[in-house]
Structure 1
């Protein structure tokens, strides 16, 4: 059982308890937090509070008792997965658009983890039952390269490289509008959108530093094809940063315009390049994954009609 403490500052005075905690605990839904409140698992200044609309005060000390996660059995499934590289320590896979990386409440089947469990006898255990082997993630509707650890030692080494920002991660993205600069850097902190918990946003409070480098590959009439290089790896980073500079990704159902012109199934974002130091051998390895067919077809159409 995990107990976390929060100290309320002046800026959060009179905020609802459930809203405050849902912002502070981004991985927990508001409904789950409300259930904890109802069960008396949350205390303010040492006293259990069972009213979810309770207004907090400056200098309040909030303690939340987080129960142990339910024991789940994730099943291996015979799902085809494109493996770019594999050895005793790791795999590099090319995830298709539409595939979720790992199981989550309400979605325990059909994920990349289910497929990997069928293919591999061993995966690292650091991230628990739901995310075995998963060192980093890409969104469901983003395609491309992911590294997967087969043992805990490899996992720790790869995770440390992510933390040090030494992994080379480059994406290809198609965005709305014409970017005038040939290249640029977006440095803006990302956190949970205070107005919509399903979205991330550039915000100053409860956020983490985020840096994206980009360069223009090709311009079309009303669209730009770019390469984006991640220096940090925040949730939805490229999607949020490009929206922040008024160039949202084409096909993005969350951050893009509500009307999508090309009947796409998700954002035009592909993790093309992945380079890292091998956790056991110490040698630098780099992999490339070609753009998927739907991406190249759209680019060809833009070349024919919008150049």
Structure 2
């Protein structure tokens, strides 16, 4: 989905080293009209070449006579706007439809290929001093509505009052099997192991309270399509609660799913509704259910029970 490709073309800028120095220091001197973060971004994205080789280490020592090229198109993202899929933007927030497979923010294993990193690059196209701020996140393999703040004031207002401001977080999930109860509420207290596996504690009050409401929209003999609303937003909450009731989210190998008909995790955040902390305006962002989800239920024999 996030394919990189090389393009052979002339560099945007080219310099020759006159005396030994660190690569970052050299670039800051030659690109004095750019911010330090902007220059670091060039290195991070592999857009700086030393004698024809891509170098990303800031402290690489340069020697006299080496040729430095800045080549904005060496490793650019293919169709970056389609990856971001921006649903809404104003002076305070950006809302995107995050694809499955993209981290919300950096992890120990992945620093660059994240929604945060891509959106940072996006806002800095206009001004290298621009920033974004994460206010919530989606699991890497969960797609859907993701919001970031564009200034620290908005970030703090959202984070400090998230539970009061957010009125609805709607998800659609494809789970294994048919549920006996076609609607219901799951409540538990979640904890996490040292290996980052979340589980429901058998003791009331032992962990973070998690509440998930669900309704079956459609079903076949093998799968059920659920509409899910979160009253709390805990890590892996839906995935753990579906495991708890014996109906794993499809494709969720981490929590024991046995099937993967979608070739991805069967979880999509389709709706986010909240009250703007400064204007008090209710804002609602929605996406359509992924076609791959609904296509599982157009086969003959499926039971459409949305109104049941």
C-alpha spacing 1:280/1:165, structure 2 compared with 1 (3 Å):
closer
Equivalent residue of 2:254, what SS? coil
Corresponding residue number in structure 1 for 2:256: 256
1:251 Cα deviation after fit = 1.3
Q: Measure the CA separation in 1 of the matches of 2:259 and 2:210.
A: 28
Matches within 5 A, 1:197-276: 197-203=195-201, 204=203, 207-257=207-257, 259-262=258-261, 264-276=262-274
Query: Does residue 90 in structure 1 map to residue 88 in structure 2?
Result: no
1:241 Cα deviation after fit = 0.6
1:253–1:266 CA contact under 8 A, matched in 2: no
Equivalent residue of 1:92, what SS? strand
1:298 Cα deviation after fit = 3.1
C-alpha spacing 1:199/1:132, structure 2 compared with 1 (3 Å):
farther
Q: What count of residue pairs does the alignment treat as equivalent? A: 221
Alpha-carbon RMSD across the aligned residues, in angstroms, is 2.4
Equivalent residue of 1:85, what SS? strand
Structure 2: give runs of 5+ residues left out of the alignment: 1-39, 46-75, 126-130, 304-308
Structure 1: give runs of 5+ residues left out of the alignment: 1-72, 123-130
Corresponding residue number in structure 2 for 1:172: 172
Q: Measure the CA separation in 2 of the matches of 1:116 and 1:254.
A: 28
String of CA shifts for 1:22-65, please: whole Å, max 9, x gaps. xxxxxxxxxxxxxxxxxxxxxxxxxxxxxxxxxxxxxxxxxxxx
Q: Measure the CA separation in 2 of the matches of 1:261 and 1:155.
A: 36
1:163 Cα deviation after fit = 3.2
- Structure-1-length-normalised TM-score: 0.66
Q: Measure the CA separation in 2 of the matches of 1:239 and 1:271.
A: 13
1:141–1:265 CA contact under 8 A, matched in 2: no
Corresponding residue number in structure 2 for 1:145: 145
Q: Measure the CA separation in 1 of the matches of 2:132 and 2:254.
A: 28
- Structure-2-length-normalised TM-score: 0.66
* Bigger radius of gyration among the two: 2
Corresponding residue number in structure 2 for 1:120: 123
1:161–1:167 CA contact under 8 A, matched in 2: no
Matches within 5 A, 1:47-58: none
String of CA shifts for 1:215-238, please: whole Å, max 9, x gaps. 111121132111110111110000
Corresponding residue number in structure 1 for 2:296: 298
Equivalent residue of 1:241, what SS? helix
1:102 Cα deviation after fit = 1.1
Q: Measure the CA separation in 1 of the matches of 2:255 and 2:265.
A: 9
Equivalent residue of 1:178, what SS? coil
